[in-house]
Structure 1
Amino acid sequence: MDLLLSALDILMRWDVALALLTGSVGGVLIGAIPGVGPAVAIAILLPATFSMDPIVGLTVLLGIYGSSMYGGAIPAILINTPGTAVNALTTYDGYPMTARGEPRRALSLAYSASFFGGIFSVICLILFAPVLARVAPYFGSREIFLAALLGIILMVVAHRGQTLIAGALAAFGIFIQTIGLEPVKYTSRYTFDQPFLSGGINLIVVVLGLFALSQAFVLLTSEDEKIRMTRLRGGMFQGLRELARHPRVATVSASFGVVMGMIPGVGEFTAQFMSYTYAQRSSKRPQDFGNGSSEGLIAAETANNAVPAAAMVPLLALGIPGEALTAMMLSVFYVHNVVPGPGLFQNQMDFVVALYLSLLILNVLVLVFLLFATRSLIQVVRIPNRFLGVCILTLSFVGVYSLRNSATDCVMAALFGVLGYVLKRLSMPSVPIILGMVLGGIMEVKLRAGMARVKEPLDFIDRPVAFLLFLAIVLVLIGHFRRVLRERAEIKAAERGALKSGHRFGQMLGRRRGRFVKDRFKLVRARHAKRLRALKDLF
Structure 2
Amino acid sequence: MELILSAIEILMRWDVALALLTGSVGGVLIGAIPGVGPAVAIAILLPATFSMDPIVGLTVLLGIYGSSMYGGSIPAILINTPGTAVNALTTYDGYPMTTRGEPRRALSLAYSASFFGGIFSVICLILFAPVLAKIAPMFGSREIFLAALLGIILVIVAHRGQSLIAGALACFGIFLNTIGLEPVKYTSRYTFDQPFLSSGVNLIVVVLGLFAISQAFVLLTSDDERVRLTKLRGGMFQGLRELARHPRVAGVAASFGVVMGMIPGVGEFTAQFMSYTYAQKSSKRPQDFGHGSSEGLIAAETANNAVPAAAMVPLLALGIPGEALTAMMLSVFYVHNVVPGPGLFQNDMDFVVALYLALLILNVLVLAFLLFATKSLIQVVRIPNRFLGVCILTLSFVGVYSLRNSATDCLLAAVFGVVGYILKRLSLPSVPIILGMVLGGIMEVKLRAGMARVKEPFDFIDRPVAFILFLIIIIVLTVHILRVLKDRKELKEAEWQTKRSSTRFGVLMSRRRNSFLKDRGRTVRARHSKLLRRLTDLI
- Name the aligned partner's letter for residue 426 of structure 1: L
Q: After superposition, where does 1:274-353 map in structure 2 within 5 Å?
A: 274-353=274-353
- Provide the C-alpha distance between the structure 2 equivalents of 1:412 and 1:503, rounded to a whole number of angstroms: 54
Report what 2:534 is aligned to.
none
Seen in structure 2, the aligned counterparts of structure 1 residues 173 and 510 have a Cα distance that, compared at 3 Å, is farther
1:153 alignment partner AA = I
Partner residue, 1:70: 70
Structure 2: how far apart are the matches of 1:159 and 1:207? Answer: 20
Q: Aligned partner of 2:304: which letter?
A: N
Please state how far the C-alpha of 1:494 moved relative to its aligned partner.
3.5
| AA matched with 1:224 | D
Report what 2:94 is aligned to.
Answer: 94
String of CA shifts for 1:329-358, please: whole Å, max 9, x gaps: 001011111100000000000000000000
Which secondary structure does the structure 2 equivalent of 1:104 belong to? Answer: helix
Deviation at 1:497, TM superposition (A): 4.5
**Which secondary structure state, in structure 2, belongs to the residue aligned with residue 339 of structure 1?**
coil
CA distance in 1 between counterparts of 2:217 and 2:502 reads: 51
Please tell me whether residue 28 in structure 1 is matched to residue 45 in structure 2: no
- Tell me what 2:122 maps to: 122
Give the TM-score, by structure 2 length: 0.93
After superposition, the Cα gap between the structure-2 partners of 1:502 and 1:235, relative to the gap in structure 1 and judged at 3 Å, is closer
Q: Structure 1 segments of 4 or more deviating over 6 A?
A: 501-505, 509-512
Provide the residue aligned with 1:508 in structure 2. Answer: 507
Distance (Å, rounded) in 1 between the aligned partners of 2:65 and 2:504: 61
Counterpart check, 1:467 vs 2:476: no
Could you say which residue in structure 1 is the equivalent of 2:241?
A: 241
2:61 maps to what in 1?
A: 61
Q: Could you say what secondary structure the match of 2:337 adopts?
A: coil
Task: For 1:445, give the aligned amino acid.
Answer: V
Measure the CA separation in 2 of the matches of 1:238 and 1:50. Answer: 42
Give, in whole Å, the separation in 2 of the partners of 1:511 and 1:468.
62
Counterpart for residue 393 of structure 2: 393
**1:428-467 alignment, distance < 5 Å:** 428-467=428-467
Matches within 5 A, 1:368-387: 368-387=368-387
What's the counterpart of residue 264 of structure 2?
Answer: 264
Superposition RMSD on alpha carbons, in Å?
1.5
Distance 1:2 1:504, change over 3 A: closer
**SS of match in other structure, 1:91:** helix
Write the distance in 2 (CA, Å) between the matches of 1:298 and 1:382: 27
Structure 2 CA distance for partners of 1:225 and 1:338, relative to 1, 3 Å = same
CA–CA distance in 1 between the matches of 2:296 and 2:435?
Answer: 31
Contact 1:266 1:322 in 2 (8 A): yes
Aligned pairs (5 A) from 1:158-173: 158-173=158-173
Contact 1:315-1:322 within 8 A present in 2 as well: yes
Other structure's SS at 2:19 match: helix
1:111 maps to which residue?
111
Alpha-carbon distance in 1 for matches of 2:236, 2:333: 38
Aligned residue type for 1:508: V
Between the aligned partners of 1:357 and 1:399, the Cα distance in structure 2 is 29
Residues 511, 305 of structure 1: CA spacing in aligned structure 2 closer, same or farther, 3 A cutoff?
farther
* Cα distance in 2 between the residues matched to 1:511 and 1:439: 61
SS in 2 for 1:492: helix
Q: 2:478 and 2:502 mapped to 1: Cα distance?
A: 37
Q: Give 1:73's aligned amino acid.
A: S
Deviation at 1:491, TM superposition (A): 2.6
Q: Deviations over 1:81-135 (max 9, x none)?
A: 0000000000000000000000000000000000000000000100111000000
Q: Deviations over 1:4-48 (max 9, x none)?
A: 111011111110110111000000000000000000000000000
Partner of 1:521: none
One-letter amino acid of the structure 1 residue matched with residue 335 of structure 2: V
The answer for unaligned runs of 5 or more in structure 1 is: 513-539
Asked if structure 2 preserves the Cα contact closer than 8 Å seen for 1:276 and 1:300, the reply is yes
Could you tell me the TM-score, scaled by structure 1's length?
A: 0.93
Q: What letter corresponds to residue 68 of structure 2 in structure 1?
A: S
Q: Which runs of 5+ in 2 are unaligned?
A: 512-539
Deviations 1:425-466 (A, max 9, x none): 111111000000000000000011111111111111111000
**CA shift in 2, pair 1:503/1:364, >3 Å:** closer
2:520 matched residue in structure 1: none
Deviations, residues 382-421 of structure 1 (Å, cap 9, x unaligned): 0011110111011101100000010100000000001001
Q: Write the letter of the residue equivalent to 1:67.
A: S
Residue in 2 aligned with 1:229?
229
Name the amino acid aligned to 2:73. Answer: A
Partner SS state of residue 487, structure 1: helix
Deviation of the 1:492 alpha carbon = 2.8
SS at match of 2:147: helix
Task: Report the Cα distance in structure 1 between the residues aligned to 2:384 and 2:468, rounded to whole angstroms.
Answer: 51
Task: Report deviation, 1:188.
Answer: 0.1
* Inter-partner Cα distance in structure 2 for 1:155 and 1:511: 51
Distance in 2 between residues matched to 1:211 and 1:318, nearest whole Å: 25
